[in-house]
Amino acid sequence: MNRRAKRRMRRKRRMKRRLRFIGFVLLAMLIIFIWNNKLFVEGNKDTSEAGETFKVVIDPGHGGSDVGATGISGLYEKDFTLSLSKKIKKILEKEEQIEVYMTREDDTFISTEDLYRPKFANELNADLYISIHGNTFSDSDVSGTESFYFHDESKYFADLIHRHVVNATGFNDRGVKAKDFFVVRYVDMPAVLLEIGYLTNPQEEQKMLDDGFQYSIATSIVDGIKEYLEIE
């Protein structure tokens, strides 16, 4: 083989190596493109399936040295509200579209002077606020479930939650009323204060102390939240 033929052979070999390299680069780019596109599609699919996420604040009324009402048996309202609120939280945590927060998770005193409870919800930019309470009256025969709101835009939410809770308790329906409670006045989202029943009524208190009954109430509140937020 003469010198010219050898040069042609070397050029062909170099050309083949270049083509193989270019082919490898193009193949790698194609694989990367396909992979990134797959991740993009799956990411969007996950977001679409998950839907919008909502923040819900549960406020167990009273706490610490602020015991709230004292039941006929000596039960403190603060203990009832915390017990029920924890059950609501437990159920809400199973909902993928809901992030649940509590203003307190133990027997902590929360001052009303600095408006901590509404500030807590406002700083979270929460979507809904529910304050849990037990009622009291000097006459032990007085009974029933009643709910309160302050802002007009909270009325529909209060009506909806109240209906669910009354159906769950079976107590006398004392209605939904507008009242200037600071926890529903100073929040920036739809809010309701629920007086589940009268701790000073022997029959109602006995039921309110029962864990199964509390789970029934908690479930009704969650159902109301989901209905309001249009979550299946």
Q: What is the pLDDT of residue 45?
A: 44
The torsion angle over the Cα atoms of residues 72, 177, 79 and 98, rounded to 10 degrees, is 150
Cβ burial of 163 (10 Å; 0-12, 13-18, 19+) is: middle
Catalytic, out of 195, 227, 230, 232: 195
Closest CA to 151 of 184, 123, 116: 184
- At residue 30, does pLDDT exceed 80? no
Cβ burial of 138 (10 Å; 0-12, 13-18, 19+) is: exposed
User: pTM of this prediction?
Assistant: 0.79
The fraction of the chain above a pLDDT of 70, given in percent, is 82
Q: What is the pLDDT of residue 126?
A: 98
- At residue 49, does pLDDT exceed 70? no
User: What band does 38 get if pLDDT is binned at 50, 70 and 90?
Assistant: low
Mean pLDDT computed over 215-228: 98
Q: What is the pLDDT of residue 198?
A: 98
Contact present, 65 and 109 (Cβ < 8 Å) = yes
- 116-156: pLDDT as tens digits: 999 999 999 999 999 999 999 999 999 999 999 999 999 99
Mean pLDDT computed over 146-174: 98
- At residue 162, does pLDDT exceed 60? yes
Handedness of CA 133, 137, 143, 146 (dihedral sign): negative
User: What band does 19 get if pLDDT is binned at 50, 70 and 90?
Assistant: low
Pull the structure tokens for residue 199.
């701790």
- Say whether 99 is catalytic: no
Q: What is the pLDDT of residue 51?
A: 73
